[in-house]
Structure 1
Amino acid sequence: MKVIETGFKDLWVIEPKVFGDSRGYFFEAFNAMEFKRNTELAPEFVQQNQSKSGKNVLRGMHLQVGSAAQAKLVRIIQGSVLDVVVDLRKEEPTFGQYYAIELNAENQKSLFVPRGMAHGFLTLKDETIFTYSCDNYYNPKAELTLRYDDPEILIDWPTQNDLKLSVKDQAGLDLDKVLKKMYG
């Protein structure tokens, strides 16, 4: 397993070593000991979630705040996504910036997302299966949704046409409103 820096504090790309032969493949999707050795972080995951989506489904940009904040380890089982995080940690030099990476079933990469970042993804293929482990339980009262198209952040989504969004995601808040709810 290779752990790759992103330029954002505690945001890590994990690239597994895949062992393949005529039968298929095997890899460790996550190894806590190796992750801690490379990052000095030791997340304890308590919840695992999975979604299946058609092409052009945009889910996000979600985060939980306060004592319900979550770090996540995200990856693709089938299909492909553009995975995006926005750093909402005021004390970080990357505050207000976003990071994007393609995660897919071919590259088998994962992304570790620390607490304090809004997270979302756009499916690039039909029948995409996305899974993520969380270090805290879901709390709907602590959830915020940042606009996927916030004019201050300007995420470069590969398409703006035919996006499929939930009602909740269509009603995402502007960056300044999210920050007021986070920091008062």
Structure 2
Amino acid sequence: MAIEEMKVRDAFRITPSQLPDNRGRFFEAWRLGELTGSSGQPFTVRQVNFSVSHRNTLRGIHGTTLPPGQAKLVTCVRGAALDVVVDLRVGSPTFGMFDTTLQEAGSGIGVYLADGLGHAFLALTDDTCMNYLCSEEYVPGTMVDIQALDPAIGIPWPTTTGLIRSEKDATAPSLSEAVARGLLPTYEEALTSYGPSWQLPHPQHLGR
């Protein structure tokens, strides 16, 4: 598999190598050792979530306060989605920046988001199913919601008309409003949550 760091620091795109034969295909979606070696961060799965969405459903931008934090590995297992990572860590070198990934079920592509990063996606087909491997169990009251249509962030959604959204997503504050209200985690908090292994030398961190 190929693991590449995205434009947002501490977010990684995982592209598996697929092995086709007369029966179909096989691929390894990810390996703990390779992900840890590329990211420098341990990843322990403590909760697994699925979302099923109609076409044009926009979910996010969602993050988590630190503590407890919640790193995620997100994969489309049915349908297709435009997946987006946004850096919500105040003080991060890539704060406010985003990167996009076209996730289609057949590709097996996954996106890893470290603690403090935000996630959103637009369902491109009906019955789009997204799988989330989470490093922490969900704690009520710790979710951070940011406006996905915030022009200051500038995510190039394929469409902004006819969107299906939850009320809390539609009324979420802009990034600047969230900063002013002290809702966002800091980069220093995120580095602390990553632990000592984040300091281990590996190719992705060279030159930082």
TM-score interval for Structure 1 and Structure 2 normalised by the shorter chain: over 0.9
**What's the counterpart of residue 92 of structure 1?**
92
Please tell me the residue identity of whatever aligns with 2:77: I
Runs of 5+ in structure 1 lacking a partner? none
Please tell me the residue identity of whatever aligns with 2:111: L
**What's the counterpart of residue 77 of structure 2?**
77
How far does residue 182 in structure 1 lie from its aligned partner after superposition? 2.4
Report the secondary structure of 2:48's partner residue: strand
Q: How does 1:27-176 map to 2 (within 5 A)?
A: 27-176=27-176
**What's the counterpart of residue 194 of structure 2?**
none
Please tell me the residue identity of whatever aligns with 1:129: C
- In 2, the alpha carbon distance for the partners of 1:99 and 1:174 equals 18
Deviating 4+ runs (over 3 angstroms): none
How far does residue 140 in structure 1 lie from its aligned partner after superposition? 2.3
Deviations along 1:33-75, whole A, 9 cap, x unmatched? 1212233222111001001111101111111102121110000
How far does residue 157 in structure 1 lie from its aligned partner after superposition? 0.4
Q: Which moved more, 1:172-181 or 1:69-78?
A: 172-181
**What's the counterpart of residue 184 of structure 2?**
182
TM-score after normalising by structure 2: 0.83
Report the secondary structure of 1:37's partner residue: helix
- Whether the aligned pair in 2 keeps the contact of 1:48 and 1:131 (CA below 8 Å) is yes
Report the secondary structure of 1:35's partner residue: helix
- In 2, the alpha carbon distance for the partners of 1:170 and 1:7 equals 26
TM-score after normalising by structure 1: 0.94
- Whether the aligned pair in 2 keeps the contact of 1:64 and 1:139 (CA below 8 Å) is no
- In 1, the alpha carbon distance for the partners of 2:147 and 2:38 equals 33
Query: Between the two proteins, what is the percent identity of the paired residues?
Result: 35
How far does residue 82 in structure 1 lie from its aligned partner after superposition? 0.5
Please tell me the residue identity of whatever aligns with 1:28: E
Please tell me the residue identity of whatever aligns with 2:107: N
- Whether the aligned pair in 2 keeps the contact of 1:51 and 1:130 (CA below 8 Å) is yes
Root-mean-square deviation (CA, aligned residues, Å) is: 1.5
- Whether the aligned pair in 2 keeps the contact of 1:5 and 1:11 (CA below 8 Å) is yes
Query: In the comparison of the two structures, how many residue pairs are matched?
Result: 184
- Whether the aligned pair in 1 keeps the contact of 2:8 and 2:97 (CA below 8 Å) is no
- Whether the aligned pair in 1 keeps the contact of 2:86 and 2:98 (CA below 8 Å) is yes
Please tell me the residue identity of whatever aligns with 2:85: V
Runs of 5+ in structure 2 lacking a partner? 187-208
Report the secondary structure of 2:35's partner residue: helix
- Whether the aligned pair in 1 keeps the contact of 2:178 and 2:184 (CA below 8 Å) is yes
How far does residue 22 in structure 1 lie from its aligned partner after superposition? 2.4
Report the secondary structure of 2:74's partner residue: strand
- Whether the aligned pair in 2 keeps the contact of 1:81 and 1:103 (CA below 8 Å) is yes
- Whether the aligned pair in 1 keeps the contact of 2:8 and 2:85 (CA below 8 Å) is no
How far does residue 31 in structure 1 lie from its aligned partner after superposition? 0.6
Deviations along 1:70-123, whole A, 9 cap, x unmatched? 110000111110011211122322111111111111321100011111111000
How far does residue 183 in structure 1 lie from its aligned partner after superposition? 5.7
Report the secondary structure of 1:50's partner residue: strand
